[in-house]
A and B are shown apart, each in its own frame.
Chain A
Amino acid sequence: MFGALIIVFREVLEAGLVVGVVLAATRGLAGSRLYVALGIFGGVVGAAVIAGFADILSSLFDGTGQELLNAVILLVAVVMLTWTVSWMSAHARELTSQLKAVGLDVKKGRKPLTALAIVVGAAVLREGFEVVLFLYGILVGGGASAASVALGGMLGVVAGAAVAYALYRGLAAIPVKRLFQVTTVMIALLAAGLAAQAVGILQSAGYLNVLAYPLWNTSAVLPQDSIVGRVLATLIGYTDQPSGLQLIAYLATLAAVFTLSRRAAASTAPRPASSTSGSR
């Protein structure tokens, strides 16, 4: 039971942190919970389907099908997050002014919500795939009783969701004006971390064999497979042994996100006949 709890907790936590950030970031958009829920549902279904084809998948592309799929999923999430940040920057004023009220116009919010639902789906799919295989393995293997595994798994889901919810509550407690800035930074870090992770996966599969050597190793200080390491890996892209290319991907994504959001904000800043429409 304990083993099931730990594994399920870890995976649910990693996906849950993404969901928490997305939920907080979309608080001002009408119907955001529905979209996030759809993303979770889609991710769970996708995870079950992919788990069913695990053998076939891993034998594709010279044995790297799994890594390629993971990298593609991550990169899709990176693109969606980047786009969302720039959309939100373009609509920053509406978002912050209407956050307390009904929320932004449903029609307008549909695009970013769809993008973020895909991000949520991608996160759930990636982590859920392992949960499904693991639980299936235990149930089939019969090492532990099915009831005990089910209990452990359920506790794991609850515990992981609880931490994610705590993150969401913490973010939701931030004053509306600041919330937007905070979630923008968090989404940027999330995207950068996912980009670095995608590069890491591709490099471990034997692709992108440049700058593949670890630049430094902080696994003695903060191992990446510890709980804190995992949380930071998800939220800010912490890697205890980043390769050169991973660092480049990380910084490039951060730069892209901030450049795009600044440009979007500048191009759509309303000018109510004032002289100071600067970069505030």
Chain B
Amino acid sequence: MTSAFRRLIAASMLAGFGAWSAAAQTAPTGAAPAAVAPAYTPTNAAGQIEVVLKDHVFTPSQIRVPAGKRTQLLIKNQDPTADEFDSSALKVEKVVGGNSEGVVRLRELDPGTYPFMGEFNPTTAQGVVIAE
């Protein structure tokens, strides 16, 4: 059932965004991922997706990552106070001190939407990770 779902996702990705292919699921034997920029949230030089927390709001609040691949978020807390990057769906709880940074490591994700929040300011600090 999930594999059918994955195939569907993979197919729609091929049709829609082209290129990136289902490399995550079927380890590429030689065909390197194409150079066309995918719709994923861009990463910094260290391969981390930078997420800024300012005024208790995450930017970007929608983070698109490839399904089935480990990814990292670099949470840059620009507020003077600490917050906790918290997501039961992602199984992550990470306290990031005020005016400091924290790395959140995401496991391989099934395609889907995974909400997260800043636990100390849950009304404003919200976002989702979309794996596809």
Shortest beta-carbon distance from A163 to chain B in Å: 20
Which of A59, A133, A214 gathers the greatest number of chain B CB atoms within 10 Å?
Answer: A133
Interface presence of B83 (CB below 8 A): yes
* Alpha-carbon separation in the docked complex, A54 to B77 (Å): 13
Interface residues of A in 103-160 (CB under 8 A from B): 129-130, 133-134, 136-138, 140-141
| Contact indicator B88/A137 (Cβ below 8 Å) | no
Smallest CB separation, A52 vs chain B (Å): 10
Q: Taking the complex as formed, is B82 at the interface, i.e. its CB lies under 8 A from any CB of chain A?
A: yes
**Chain B residues near A54 (CB-CB < 8 A):** 82, 95, 97, 100
Q: Which listed residue (A63, A141, A213) contacts B102, Cβ 8 A? A: A63
Chain A, residues 72-112, CB within 8 Å of chain B (1/0): the string is: 00000000000000000000000000000000000000000
From A24-32, A164-172, A197-205, A255-263, give the one contacting chain B: A197-205
Cβ-defined contact, A225 with B107, below 8 A? no
The docked-state distance in angstroms from the alpha carbon of A140 to that of B91 is: 29
Which residues in B have their C-beta under 8 angstroms from that of A137?
Answer: 81-83, 98, 120
Interface string of A200-236 (1 = CB under 8 A from B): 1001111000001110000100011100000000000
Residues of A near B80 (CB, < 8 A) are 140-141
Q: Tell whether, in the assembled complex, residue B103 and residue A66 are in contact, meaning their CB atoms are under 8 Å apart.
A: no
Digitize B100-132: 1 where CB-to-A-CB distance is under 8 Å, 0 elsewhere: 111101011000000000011011000000000
CB distance from A250 to the nearest CB of B (A): 15
Q: Tell me if B89 and A219 are in contact (CB < 8 A).
A: yes
**Interface presence of A183 (CB below 8 A):** no
A206 to chain B, nearest CB (A): 4
B50 within 8 A of A: no
Q: Is the CB of B119 within 8 A of A7?
A: yes
Q: With a CB–CB cut-off of 8 A, which chain A residues contact B92?
A: 204
What chain A residues lie within 8 Å of B89 (beta carbons)?
A: 219
Which residue of the partner chain A has the closest CB to B105?
A206
Chain A interface category by residue count: 35 or more
CB distance from B91 to the nearest CB of A (A): 6
B120 close to A140 (CB less than 8 A): no
Contact B95 A64 (CB under 8 A): no
A207 to B82, CA, bound (A): 25
Q: Which residues of B contact A51 (CB under 8 A)?
A: 82
Can you give 22 contacting A-B residue pairs, CB < 8 Å? A3-B123, A54-B95, A54-B97, A55-B99, A58-B102, A59-B100, A63-B101, A66-B102, A133-B82, A133-B97, A136-B82, A137-B98, A140-B80, A140-B81, A203-B91, A204-B92, A206-B70, A212-B107, A219-B88, A219-B89, A224-B88, A225-B88
Residues of B with Cβ closer than 8 Å to A?
Answer: 70, 79-84, 86, 88-89, 91-103, 105, 107-108, 119-120, 122-123
With A66-B102, A206-B70 given, name 7 new contacts (CB 8 A): A51-B82, A54-B95, A63-B101, A134-B84, A204-B91, A204-B107, A206-B105
Residues of chain A at the chain B interface (Cβ within 8 Å):
3, 7, 51, 54-55, 58-59, 62-64, 66-67, 129-130, 133-134, 136-138, 140-141, 200, 203-206, 212-214, 219, 223-225, 240-241
Closest 7 CB pairs of A and B: A137-B81, A63-B103, A55-B97, A54-B97, A55-B100, A133-B82, A206-B105
